[in-house]
A and B are shown apart, each in its own frame.
Chain A
Amino acid sequence: MQQEYLLEMRGIDKAFTGVKALTNVDFSVKRGEVHALMGENGAGKSTLIKVLTGIYHKDAGTIIFDGQEIAPKTALAAQALGISTIYQELNLVPFQTVYENIYMGREPRTPIGTIDRRKMIHDAREVLEGMGISIDVQEPLRQYSTAIQQMVAIARALTINAKLVVMDEPTSSLDAKEVEVLFAVIRRLREQGIAIIFISHRLSEIFEICERVTVLRNGELAGVFNVDELDTQTLVNCMLGRAFTSAQRNKGAYAFEDAEELARLESVSWNVRLNGIGVDIKKGEIVGLAGLLGSGRTELCNILFGAEPPDDGSIFWLDQPGDIRSPRDAIRLGMGYCTEDRKVEGLFLHLSVKDNLTMAMLPQLTKNGVVQKKKQDAIVQQYIDRLSIKTPSSEQLVRYLSGGNQQKVLLARWMCMNPKLIILDEPTRGIDVGAKAEIESLIQEFSAAGISVLMISSEMEELVRNCDRIVVMRDGKKLGELTDEQISMDDIMDTISHGASEILTAKEDERT
């Protein structure tokens, strides 16, 4: 007779150089359940997972897995026991083929000891098809989207006969459709009796896919819930340990009908990603770009900011043709751009908070090329206080800050320039709920101060909450615009699919 619980962690303690990261944490997962592990950044989620997967060693407590007490010393040992982890940054090799990635490090052999490619290809195809994915496994992995790459990582876990799969923010780089595919795979795994630990900051996903939730707060267990008996407010309050209200744009009538225009893109085309799109932004308005991944949202922002030259079309700034050939030009006009990937395109990880915050502002802080330290320090301190950036000092290297605080540093980098327009690409990705609310209320403050905002978010609720107008995009074209009471999740989805059918009819018209 099998135990009800596949995994039981009891009384787990873990400290780093005297600082407690986990205190007496209990965590248990049933067979074949999808179990969410929630908590703010720094709550101890990753530490707990790392203890489970053998990357950290617990100071106290017991781990019972599949009826036996275990204490994995390495990630490999945990894997051998049947615990697999799909990391946020996928640990796959993009230049190798799909099947090589699935079997990397444990390639099947032929009788004479060489690698049995035929078997690998065959088995890889079978595993993926079992998940409902049919792709050419002999193509290099980088040919495929992030979502598919994630599926490959999951397939890899399955071939190791995983009984428990840990997914650390698996949806953070997926669009709505890809998330559906992932969820379908998760449901299939659940039917096969595989348990899943699901870590995500997106509350809606927890309610959609998970059965139970364990919440951690400050390294301690804050609560375990059945999702059926749970509402958002309770969950968020439990995570934060306090009552929480999210920012909400005052949804009156659309107030920017007659407002002065700040920027306008006219029939811009670029590569195959943008096909003659036109978008305008009024002064003080918050414009959202909605659409699936690959709809050209980020590309549109890149072109407006001068990071890429458009192949065709024109940009107007305050009704004048804007001569924007580089980000320098865009910054001079009064734009700021927080890119999608903080670490890759935004932060200088080895430099201090101070340097990161003032990098764009340096020309205004220098006298004869020399940085005026007093002026710099004053500005840095002002923004650390204003945005309540949690850092021991302004000299702290920015890479030691949490995701939310890093994002605040990037926002401050542009706020201190007194910009006219701030472009935000996924401003709250990978950020915990508390910091998220702070950033959303900052966005509202921008608008109140007359600063326009152009924002992209894969979380439609975020756009609905914050935007005055939403531009829905697909395949590099504008499908429609939504204002005031039209703005709702359903309307966005409707526009995306309605527009899609329009395109289909157009294509059929061409054929006839």
Chain B
Amino acid sequence: MSTGPVNPITLERPPLSDTLRKHSPVIMLGTLLLINAIFTSNFFTIDIVWLIIIQCATIILTGMGQTMVIATGGIDISIGSQMALAAVVCAHMLPYGILPAVIAAIIACAVMGLISGFMVGKLNVSPMVVTLSMLLFARGVAQVLNDGRILYIDQYKNFEFLGQGKILGELPMQIIPIVIVVAVVYFIIEKTAWGRRIQAVGDNPTAARLTGINATWTIISAYVFSAMFAAVAGLVLVSKVGAADGSNMGRLAELDAIAAVAVGGTSMAGGRAKVMGTLLGAIVMQLITITVVMNNIQYEYAQILKSAIIIFAVFIQRESRA
């Protein structure tokens, strides 16, 4: 077959801003570290690393699920409530043993995810509305189960090890769920056909259907996984705190998760999932708090700074107009 005249292919190459976009989470993390190197005394200590791992755990775990959901073109704002639900279910089940408690918590959330996924994927209801109702529903169930009290679980020392323990000397236990969940999601997104389908459905649902993809199941699966990871985050949190508070646990956790995804470079319109980006995004979000606190600035300023970072991240990742 003959080739046509050589088109100026360079014109069709991604512009410079694409390169910037691709590496923006790394650039932001680098900038934050640089700022700390200059302004924060005693920043580069191993304790800071442990602190980041402990404090980032819930954002990373929920962010992973959120990455999958957002990649399908949806959003899950119910994960904070899911965390609380998992914590309360776990606290109730602990008398029957750690494993039953953990499994029950994860199943409870998975059912919530299944309902959300069904309504979005099968009934085509707007994800924002579905998960907003689920936010209220899961929180309500958690509070009912709690009966207005805070359930203390400090007698279950073995369980508390999950959130407070150390392994290999000083390494916080949280590293284990983080590594497992990040590895699992990275594997799903990058290596499996399912991961490709998640992104395909988010990118172009019509084309996905015409390519033989079962969009309904793909969407449902993303919400179920998001809920299950939220459950894991809730378990990590409850074991760290030592008490399950159905009313307040995980409040606004969805915002941190969504922010981590946005900063990480996953397209908010769906279609492009950046698992490692979300990991970095979560660390960036937490690092801002740590930086502010360590420099004796009021915590409120951290929020202002976070908002600026989120806007900046979304700004440089915006679609260039064709």
**Contact flags B196-215 to A (C-beta < 8 A → 1, else 0):** 11011001101111111110
Q: Which of A435-462 contact B (CB under 8 A)?
A: 435, 438, 441
Known: A346-B207, A350-B203, A400-B13. A388 touches B6 (CB 8 A): no
Known: A40-B4, A390-B9. A413 touches B267 (CB 8 A): no
A200–chain B nearest beta-carbon distance, Å: 19
Which residues of chain A are within 8 angstroms of B19 by Cβ–Cβ distance? Answer: none
Contact size class for B?
A: 35 or more
Q: Does A269 contact B (CB under 8 A)?
A: no
A-B contact count (CB 8 A): 131
In the complex, what distance in Å separates the CA atom of A413 from the CA atom of B267? 24
**Contact flags A328-372 to B (C-beta < 8 A → 1, else 0):** 101110000101000011111111000100011011011001110
Which residues of chain A are within 8 angstroms of B210 by Cβ–Cβ distance? Answer: 305, 307, 327, 337, 339, 345-346
Taking a contact as CB atoms closer than 8 A, the residue among B5, B191, B197, B212 that contacts A217 in the complex is B5
Q: Does A402 contact B (CB under 8 A)?
A: yes
Known: A327-B211, A413-B211. A362 touches B7 (CB 8 A): no
Residue of B nearest to A359 (CB): B211
Interface centre among B16, B204, B209, B271, by most chain A C-beta atoms within 10 angstroms, is B204
Whether A19 contacts B8 by the Cβ 8 Å rule is yes
Q: Does B272 contact A (CB under 8 A)?
A: yes
Q: Does B46 contact A (CB under 8 A)?
A: no
Taking a contact as CB atoms closer than 8 A, the residue among B14, B192, B209, B322 that contacts A366 in the complex is B192
Residue of A nearest to B6 (CB): A218
Which residues of chain B are within 8 angstroms of A390 by Cβ–Cβ distance? Answer: 3, 7, 9
In the complex, what distance in Å separates the CA atom of A345 from the CA atom of B207? 4
Residue of A nearest to B272 (CB): A350
Whether B5 contacts A347 by the Cβ 8 Å rule is no
Whether B193 contacts A17 by the Cβ 8 Å rule is no
Whether B191 contacts A397 by the Cβ 8 Å rule is no
In the complex, what distance in Å separates the CA atom of A288 from the CA atom of B157? 74
In the complex, what distance in Å separates the CA atom of A363 from the CA atom of B192? 10
In the complex, what distance in Å separates the CA atom of A351 from the CA atom of B273? 10
Q: Does B11 contact A (CB under 8 A)?
A: yes
Which residues of chain A are within 8 angstroms of B271 by Cβ–Cβ distance? Answer: 348-351
Known: A328-B214, A350-B271, A397-B14. A218 touches B8 (CB 8 A): yes
Can you list the 5 inter-chain pairs with the closest CB atoms, starting with the nearest? A434-B4, A42-B7, A350-B271, A362-B193, A348-B203
B193–chain A nearest beta-carbon distance, Å: 4
Q: Does B12 contact A (CB under 8 A)?
A: yes
**Contact flags A24-47 to B (C-beta < 8 A → 1, else 0):** 000000000000000011100000
In the complex, what distance in Å separates the CA atom of A42 from the CA atom of B6? 9
Residue of A nearest to B5 (CB): A241
Q: Does B10 contact A (CB under 8 A)?
A: yes
Which residues of chain B are within 8 angstroms of A387 by Cβ–Cβ distance? Answer: 1
Q: Does B186 contact A (CB under 8 A)?
A: no
Whether B13 contacts A392 by the Cβ 8 Å rule is yes
Which residues of chain A are within 8 angstroms of B214 by Cβ–Cβ distance? Answer: 328
Whether B191 contacts A371 by the Cβ 8 Å rule is yes
Residue of B nearest to A332 (CB): B212
Residue pairs across A and B with Cβ atoms less than 8 A apart, 23 shown, are A20-B8, A219-B8, A240-B4, A240-B5, A242-B5, A307-B209, A326-B212, A327-B209, A327-B212, A328-B213, A339-B207, A344-B204, A348-B203, A348-B207, A349-B271, A351-B199, A351-B200, A355-B196, A386-B1, A387-B1, A392-B9, A413-B211, A432-B4
Whether B211 contacts A347 by the Cβ 8 Å rule is no
Whether A349 contacts B204 by the Cβ 8 Å rule is yes
Extra contacts, 14 of them, besides A344-B204, A350-B272, A351-B272 (Cβ < 8 A), are: A19-B8, A40-B7, A41-B7, A217-B5, A327-B209, A331-B212, A349-B271, A350-B271, A360-B211, A360-B212, A362-B193, A371-B191, A386-B1, A390-B7
Q: Which of A30-66 contact B (CB under 8 A)?
A: 40-42
Whether B1 contacts A359 by the Cβ 8 Å rule is no
Whether B203 contacts A400 by the Cβ 8 Å rule is no
In the complex, what distance in Å separates the CA atom of A9 from the CA atom of B86? 69
Interface centre among B12, B13, B197, by most chain A C-beta atoms within 10 angstroms, is B12
Whether B7 contacts A441 by the Cβ 8 Å rule is no
Q: Does B156 contact A (CB under 8 A)?
A: no
Q: Does B137 contact A (CB under 8 A)?
A: no
**Contact flags B2-35 to A (C-beta < 8 A → 1, else 0):** 0111111111111110000000000000000000
Residue of A nearest to B71 (CB): A350
**Contact flags A366-384 to B (C-beta < 8 A → 1, else 0):** 1001110000000000000
Which residues of chain A are within 8 angstroms of B312 by Cβ–Cβ distance? Answer: none
Which residues of chain B are within 8 angstroms of A305 by Cβ–Cβ distance? Answer: 210
